[in-house]
Structure 1
Amino acid sequence: MSSEASEAERSEASKRAGSEATREHGGGGRSEASKRARSERDRRSVAADGGTASSGATRAADAARPDDSLLRVRDLDAGYGDLQILTDVHMDVGDGEYVTIVGPNGAGKSTVMKSVFGLTSYMGGTIEFAGEAIHGLAPEEIIHEGIGYVPQNDNVFESLTVRENLEMGAYILDEVPEEQIEVIYDRFPILRERSDQRAGTMSGGQRQMLAMGRALMLDPDLLLLDEPSAGLAPDLVQEMFDRIDRINDDGTAVLMVEQNAKEALGRCDRGYVLVNGENAYVDSGEALLNDEQVRKDFLGG
């Protein structure tokens, strides 16, 4: 990291990176950086245990779940301080699956995401990742388990350059993985062009690409994306969704919160609809798009 970044900036950046760092799949196999990161969590089970499934775009108490669940959430109660937001939430993400959470404002969508990443008050239930309980763990512990998180707001370090932001994404490693930075530059060419530019001077779309690029520095098994299209110009929204598709195609499981429900459901494997902090519907994205009640209540008819 350049000498221009102050010690205070580095300290604050390290704390925030602990909440946001993730790992990226490169083409043709994993990079040395991702192998190093993965070696820190070899103790994990290869796959999660099985469970009960739930059906269709109907009331979702027992949602249809993949047999190879990577993330398994059961009876989750969580919130902020003493304020409970989520009640008995069930959710699953299979290995390599693309899952979207939609619902009205205030439904608790982002709270689910933050709860998985250890950023809320845990009040009950279980969160398992690759067969191990992770509820109650701090974010800096969870990134070692192979989960990465890109928040909707404050998702770049504005005073740092593009390259310095990427370096912070690999802060848990002893050395900056140059080969992984090249992987990110190949995926997001604009970041290579703007390598020395301060993140705070970038456009909204460029900042989102930087946040995702940093999130991919440690090659996560599961990538959490909170409103990735928020604030983007209309002509950039499709590009952003296309990039997420390619990340998932490379083998990374994706759990995404998105207000652009029609677009998100049209691309994902499965979708969850949350209402008032509780499960309402779950099914394949296509089935939810075609469900009359879901369309009427949540998709504008």
Structure 2
Amino acid sequence: MSQQASREASLPDGESGILAVRDLDAGYGDLQVLTDVDLDVRDGEYVTIVGPNGAGKSTVMKSVFGLTTYMGGTVTFGGEEIQERNPEQIIHEGIGYVPQNENVFAGLSVKENLEMGAYILDDVPEDRLQAVYDRFPILEERKTQKAGSLSGGQQQMLAMGRALMLEPDLLMLDEPSAGLAPDLVDEMFDRIDRINDDGTSILMVEQNAKEALRRCDRGYVLVQGQNSYMDAGDALLADDEVRQEFLGG
């Protein structure tokens, strides 16, 4: 698949997603990491970004969430441009973000972590807290336990649960399987599938590229801060060039 052909695999002309990134330039301070990045997520869609280390995958999500230096282009969510808003404003728009590292408050209890996820509300809705417990029963069992004493998989569930407390329209996940024992990786992906099945759009960066592309609706391959390939997840998995260059054959 050529780069030109891959660009034609994005959303059809005239069709926009809940999230639309166009010609995005961004980085950190004076260092530009992303150049002319395009990306779409439809309402209810599951989209994955893969690529080599240092490609700028996490920077895309941080840029959507207002955590990088904006240098050009647009980020539109729900029809509103948000590229120059701060994270708290973006949370109000309906985007949840789970970073790869330091994504729980280690000294707080599980319940207190979840309550922090609803900090922009006047009161913590008990029904939302219970919805998270229903989705991740282990968190209810451990609700009085300090978050820092949880296993890696449990901390990841807690981080996702906290982000879900505001019932976001889009949940962004940065390397959710990183550091998990192999027998827990499939379970984590299954949980993400169910969150998406319940109607939440997903944008995920993932090191386990083959499994991520197998499960997602569409995928983007990022190389050196630029779009390289865009297509349905199964189409990228079947593409010989993509497999050889980025998926290990």
TM bucket normalised to smaller: over 0.9
TM-score (norm 2): 0.97
Number of aligned residues: 245
- Taking the TM superposition and a 5 Å limit, the aligned residue runs for 1:256-275 are 256-275=204-223
The superposition leaves residues 71-110 of structure 1 with CA deviations (integer Å, 9 ceiling, x where unpaired) of: 0000000000000000000000000000000000000000
Distance 2:166 2:123 in 1: 12
Q: Check conservation: 1:150, 1:212, Cα contact below 8 A.
A: yes
Q: Distance in 2 between matches of 1:256 and 1:262?
A: 13
Tell me how far apart the structure 2 counterparts of residues 163 and 64 of structure 1 sit (CA, whole Å).
Answer: 40
Letter in 1 for 2:120: I
Task: Note if contact 2:50-2:222 (Cα within 8 Å) is conserved in structure 1.
Answer: yes
Candidates 169, 172, 176, aligned match of 2:120: 172
Is the partner of 1:69 in helix, strand or coil? coil
Instruction: Give the C-alpha shift of residue 63 in structure 1.
Output: 4.2
Preserved contact between residue 63 and residue 90 of structure 1 (Cα < 8 Å): no
Partner of 1:128: 76
- Which of 63, 72, 82 is residue 30 of structure 2 equivalent to? 82
In 2, Cα distance between the equivalents of 1:81 and 1:68?
A: 30
Out of 57, 61, 78, which is 1:113 matched to? 61
Shift of 1:68: 4.4
Query: Structure 1, unaligned stretches of length 5 or more?
Result: 1-56
Query: Percent of pairs identical after alignment?
Result: 74
1:71–1:93 CA contact under 8 A, matched in 2: yes
Structure 2's unaligned 5+ residue stretches are: none
1:30 maps to none
Which 4+ stretches in 1 moved above 4 angstroms?
none
1:205 is paired with a residue whose SS is: helix
Equivalent position to 2:11, from 25, 46, 65: 65
1:162 is matched with: 110
TM-score by length of 1: 0.80
Please name the residue that 1:195 is paired with.
143
User: Which residue number corresponds to residue 40 of structure 1?
Assistant: none
1:58 Cα deviation (Å)? Answer: 3.4
Alignment RMSD, CA only?
0.9
Distance 2:10 2:74 in 1: 18
What is the alpha-carbon distance in structure 2 between the residues aligned to residue 219 and residue 262 of structure 1? Answer: 28
Distance verdict in 2 for CA 1:62–1:86, change over 3 Å: farther
Deviations 1:176-196 (A, max 9, x none): 111111111011000000000
Separation (CA, whole Å) in 1 of partners of 2:219 and 2:25: 20
Give 1:101's aligned residue: 49
2:182 paired residue number:
234
User: In the aligned structure 1, how far is the partner of 2:227 from the partner of 2:180?
Assistant: 28
Secondary structure of 2:242's aligned partner? helix
